[in-house]
Structure 1
Amino acid sequence: MKTITTLLVLTLAIVATLAAARHGKYTDKYDNVDLNEILANKRLLVPYIKCILDQGKCTADGKELKSHIIEALEDYCSRCTDTQRDGTRRVIAHLINNEPEYWRELSDKYDKDHKYVRKYETELGSVQG
């Protein structure tokens, strides 16, 4: 299993950014999505989380995000655009600091050994997303 950290990072950041891969990078089709709006509104945020947890329906962008999570976790988002990488960090920081139960569920699902989670919790635990 991979980490929830990058998973969530890719989840919301990529939800707002990831899509089909082109020229070595993920598509920037969703790079203009307003992550602040999603993070500030649980009605928008929770469906993405439920999608990634396999507990709810997925939108087209949610499916796209989910399809790249494993790879992004393994290679530390090396195919992400700068916007996606920054967005991923904001999403993870938000989840760690504001949605600890969802963060725990995602961590348990994608990083049972906490190989990645610890790094992000240490790095982003005091950052507001």
Structure 2
Amino acid sequence: MMKLLIVLAFVAVVAARPDVDYNRYENFNVDEVIENRRLFKAYVECLQGVGKCTPEGNDLKTALPDGIQNSCSKCSEKLKTLVAKLIIAAQEQYPEEWESINKQYNPNGEHNEKMKEFLEKYKP
């Protein structure tokens, strides 16, 4: 019974957690991540679920489904540009890993056209 109460309390805390404010990342240094292959690879592995995640990586992992499925609908215009820059860099520098990530978050490819339009509109 006590275990059930602990689990229910945990679920209540998680459910009550407000959405992450992704716009706090508007000043995130995307170029630093892209230029540092080791750091970029760590983010890619985090998104794939095969590596450890930083707090920022966890936020990115949480935001990625919205980014892929809804053209980053919760993002500001500036953040959409940063997201597009990261996705394009991942596609170019880690094409196999990006394919794996895309299949993970977009298994049927139904959002490919929407993502292509998003990247075209917001590419730097």
TM-score by length of 1: 0.66
Report the secondary structure of 1:73's partner residue.
helix
Q: CA-atom RMSD, angstroms?
A: 2.7
The structure whose Rg is larger is 2
Higher relative contact order (CA 8 A, sep 6+): 1
1:108 to 2:70 alignment: no
Distance in 2, matches of 1:63 and 1:115, equals 24
In the other structure, the counterpart of 2:58 is 63
Identity in percent: 24
* Amino acid paired to 1:94: A
Residue pair 2:66, 2:73 contacting (<8 A) in 1 also? no
Q: Give CA-to-partner distance per residue, 1:73-103, whole Å, 9 cap, x none.
A: 3332111012210011111221222321111
* Amino acid paired to 1:53: Q
For the structure 1 residues 124 and 71, does the alpha-carbon distance in structure 2 shift closer, same or farther, using more than 3 Å as the test?
Answer: closer
In the other structure, the counterpart of 2:77 is 82
Q: Paired residues, what number?
A: 106
TM-score by length of 2: 0.68
Q: Give CA-to-partner distance per residue, 1:50-86, whole Å, 9 cap, x none.
A: 1111101111111122122223333321110122100
Q: Which moved more, 1:39-48 or 1:66-75?
A: 66-75
Residue pair 1:52, 1:66 contacting (<8 A) in 2 also? yes
Higher helix proportion (structure 1 or 2): 2
Q: Which runs of 5+ in 1 are unaligned?
A: 1-19
Q: Which runs of 5+ in 2 are unaligned?
A: 1-17
